[in-house]
Structure 1
Amino acid sequence: MKKVLYLFVVLFITALAAQAQQSKDEKEVAAAVATLRQGMLDGNKTVLDQVTSADLTYGHSNGKLEDKATFISVLASGENDFVTMDVTDQTIKVLGNTAVVRHNFSAKTNNGGTPASTKLAVLLIWQKQQGKWKLIARQATKLT
């Protein structure tokens, strides 16, 4: 009986520790997503560089793909200019050193001086690299 109780306690503590770690990783990923959002709003080259992987592949809802340099360049130059950006219905699933984030994204833009708005469903793939969460892939599709 003592062995069963001991085993139960060990398993319970292990499960709590795993849950706490997952929660910590999920919080770190959520913070990385928030940093990315703010960097995109500000067109902040330094922030965008810090939060993205060198191997970034950034897919737009129209099928256009950008690498890291292009993604940062169009935001920092104002070619793509976000006026507002709201993220809702976000889910985060951490699988080891990879995180899958899904959310809905609505934004007002002023690209090339032309005001517009967009509503998207977005998939973000993050990877923990040298202790930091980096965006490695993004794909979006238009919401109606």
Structure 2
Amino acid sequence: SRIGGMVNQVIKMKIRFKYSIAIVCLLSVSSIAAQSKEIKQVEAAVEGLRQAMIHPTTASLDQYVMDELSYGHSGGKIEDKETFEANLLNGNSDFLDISLSNQTIKIYKKTAIVRHNLFAKTHDKGKEEGEVKLHIMTVWVKDKKQWKMIARQAIKH
């Protein structure tokens, strides 16, 4: 009968709707899981660079910094990768300790924007020991399977 056919159509539509909702939920969960995995990888890269800046070697710095680096200091000075690494390796920039707080990470495909507060104890070549408090924004790109910093800008806290 005609009513029976309409009932069957309504039942089929409800089933399709439930499957559609289930698929959307599964895709959302897998997308959130992938985003969470990427955030953990960026956090690990930020931590790796923090350690590399305290105990610098060319190999450890290269692991976390892109060749095209633009490294902006709070006073306006901008360094390329070569200068950034050289200053850490020769002691012109000497970090005794670096603490990061209030970190946020936003990921857009293969780019991440990281913001945090930095507190560091320093002993730069030719200077007394000192402390620095900065607000930092860094930009990271995924280079093959490794997140690397391509840009950094600091302002005084």
TM-score (norm 1): 0.97
Query: How far apart, in 1, do the equivalents of 2:95 and 2:146 lie?
Result: 25
SS of the residue aligned with 1:120?
Answer: strand
2:122 maps to amino acid: T
* Distance of 1:129 and 1:94 partners within structure 2: 14
The CA distance in 1 between the partners of 2:132 and 2:65, in whole Å, is 23
Name the structure where strand makes up a greater proportion of residues: 1
Q: CA deviation at 1:131?
A: 1.6
Displacement after TM superposition at 1:27 (Å): 0.3
What letter is aligned with 1:117? E
1:71 lines up with 2:84 in the alignment: yes
List alignment gaps of at least 5 residues for structure 1: none
Name the structure with the higher helix share. Answer: 2
Deviation per residue, 1:22-56 (Å, 9 max, x gap): 00000000000000000000022211011100100
Structure 1 vs Structure 2 CA RMSD: 0.7
Q: Does 2:33 match 1:20?
A: yes
Max Rg structure? 2
Instruction: Tell me, yes or no, if structure 1 residue 124 matches structure 2 residue 138.
Output: yes
Distance in 1 separating the partners of 2:96 and 2:65: 21
Contact kept? 1:93, 1:99, Cα under 8 Å? yes
Q: Kindly provide the amino acid, as one letter, of the partner of residue 104 in structure 1.
A: N
Q: Aligned-pair distance for 1:78?
A: 1.3
Distance of 1:94 and 1:120 partners within structure 2: 22
Pick from 52, 57, 71 the counterpart of residue 44 of structure 1: 57
2:67 to 32, 51, 54: 54
Contact preservation (8 Å) 1:43, 1:78: no
Q: How many Å separate the matches in 1 of 2:131 and 2:145?
A: 35
Which runs of 5 or more residues in structure 2 are unaligned? 1-13
Matching of residue 82 in structure 1 with residue 95 in structure 2: yes
Q: Percent identity?
A: 41
SS of the aligned residue for 1:33 comes to helix
Q: Which moved more, 1:111-120 or 1:50-59?
A: 111-120
Match for residue 6 of structure 2?
none
TM-score by length of 2: 0.89
Aligned 8 A contact 1:43 1:81 in 2:
no
